[in-house]
Amino acid sequence: MKSTFIGLCIALFSSLEAQAATQVAYRTQDVDGIKIFYREAGNPANPTILLLHGFPSSSHMYRDLIPALMGKFHVIAPDYPGSGYSEVPEGVPFTPTFDGLADVMTRFLEKKGLTKFALYVQDFGGPVGFRIAAKHPDWISALVIQNANAYKEGLSAQLASDIKQLSVGINAETEQAMSQVLSPQGVQFMYKTGARNPEQLSPDAWMHDQDGLQSALNRKIQMGLLVDYHTNVEQYPAWHAYFRKSQPPTLIVWGKNDPLFIEAGAKAYLQDIKNAELHLLDSGHFALEEDSAEIASRVTSFIETRATLTR
């Protein structure tokens, strides 16, 4: 009788554990006073995939990808300070630069005990993730790159000009330019331009982003990051050196109609990473909005066959 009861308890516990692994948890991690919100799903015993989001989005951009991956992987998607649901309380120091973001995300990973993972990056996720990878190459089991640029040839002419203009810092002229980028029209431009079926895009995506930008602190942080973007271009040679030396297994899934990070930027990775796998998608900057199922399938297949599958 006792053994039957124990057996039932074990079965119940296993059932609850399995159910938890198929649900997304919404959590917050204190990182030196900064409240980092993150989405977590899947069994922690499985290989980990870290999803680093782009601008002006948050972990919300991975809302469809996470459920498609969590059956086989442990998935973590944090919001940066100034994005999504993360909070920088008054009086807590944070410098809105890409070095600052990378430092906070590194501390987040250390607090979570994550030192081996596949790194998925999009847009701002590239500068943040590549800084982490270059300093901790042993942490990276694989790279998945989605419209995250690391080469000058990947910058559109307009974007290259804007980066140079903003590099002088925040003043009346640059603040006006950034206000246009952060406006509802600017946010929607990044989602709709290059999409093959703009009328099929869910407005939930850009409305979520626009809501986050209503915060004065978030807007200030985003402006700080925009004027700091030139430091990413300056980091390109260091990232190329990391790619050439470490040769991480790399999957590139790129919306080829991106008006910001153009197709040449996707192909440029092949210069430095041998055997990188490249797939150009008929979509724009936020290709997940149209092609999450295809991207999830390619990520799953790639990591299972090419990555070092240890947590």
In the chain the first and final C-alpha atoms are separated, in Å, by 39
Query: Which pair of structure tokens corresponds to residue 216?
Result: 């004065």
Quick one: DSSP state of residue 143?
E
Establish whether 60 is a catalytic residue: no
Choosing from 60, 208, 240, 285, which is the catalytic residue?
285
Helices of type H across the chain: 2-21, 65-69, 98-112, 125-135, 157-166, 172-181, 184-192, 204-212, 216-228, 230-246, 263-268, 288-306
Our CA angle for 298, 38, 105, nearest 5°, is 90
Which two structure tokens, joined as six digits, stand for 22?
């198929």
CA distance 121 to 146: 6
- Give the separation between CA 160 and CA 153, rounded to whole angstroms: 10
In three-state secondary structure terms, 89 is coil
DSSP H or E run through 276: none
H helices of 182-309, where?
184-192, 204-212, 216-228, 230-246, 263-268, 288-306
Active site residues: 285
